[in-house]
Amino acid sequence: MEMRAVENNTDVKQQELVLLLQREINHLQNLMHSLEEEYAALAEQHTATLEDVVRKKQATIRELEHIGQQRETMLVSMNTTTEEQLNEAVHASSTDHHLSALWNELVLLAEKCQEMNRINGSIVELVSRQSRHALEILHGISPNLSSRPELYDQTGYKIISGETHSLTKA
């Protein structure tokens, strides 16, 4: 009788884990969609859309963090303290292929989201660098001081290289 109760408890926890993993996968799919929208907004340089997408992405990430905490709590209750132990347990269990498939889908989707986020971050960094460069030029700061040409004032004297010439001044 006691053995049966332990098996039922394990089954209930596995079912709860399945539901939690499904929720996490749904949120990761939402995150991937947001990352794709972010990529498109970055490519089109559409600031308003980008702001909306980033807000949506941040809300999804907060929800994923909450679900991740729930998963960690559940893993502790199942005497599985790390994701590696869960991964081993899922793959060792030949009885629950559904749980294994969900876990594999979750890991794959998380990796895709991570890669897409890295790509978007690289685009943001590139655009930021280009903007800084343009602002430096507008403020008369040479981005590459070693290639700065020698300049002379109206009297023919060499201008000290520390001075800047803003393109925005008349």
pLDDT at 82: 64
Could you read off the pLDDT of 85-120 as tens digits, one per residue?
666 666 665 456 788 899 899 999 999 999 999 999
Query: What are 152's strand-pairing partners?
Result: 158
Q: What share of the chain is helix, strand, coil (3-state, %, to 5)?
A: 75, 0, 25
Higher pLDDT pick, 10 / 24 = 24
CB-CB neighbours of 103 under 10 Å: 21
Residue with the two structure tokens 């590696």: 84
Its pTM surpasses 0.85: no
In the CATH scheme, what is the homologous superfamily, with its name and number, of domain 2-143?
FlgN-like (1.20.58.300)
Instruction: Break the chain into its structural domains and give their ranges.
Output: 2-143
Q: Report residue 166's pLDDT band, with 50, 70 and 90 as the boundaries.
A: low
Q: Report residue 26's pLDDT band, with 50, 70 and 90 as the boundaries.
A: very high
8 vs 96: CA distance, rounded Å: 14
* SS3 (DSSP) at 152: strand
Could you read off the pLDDT of 51-69 as tens digits, one per residue?
999 999 999 999 999 999 9
* SS3 (DSSP) at 46: coil
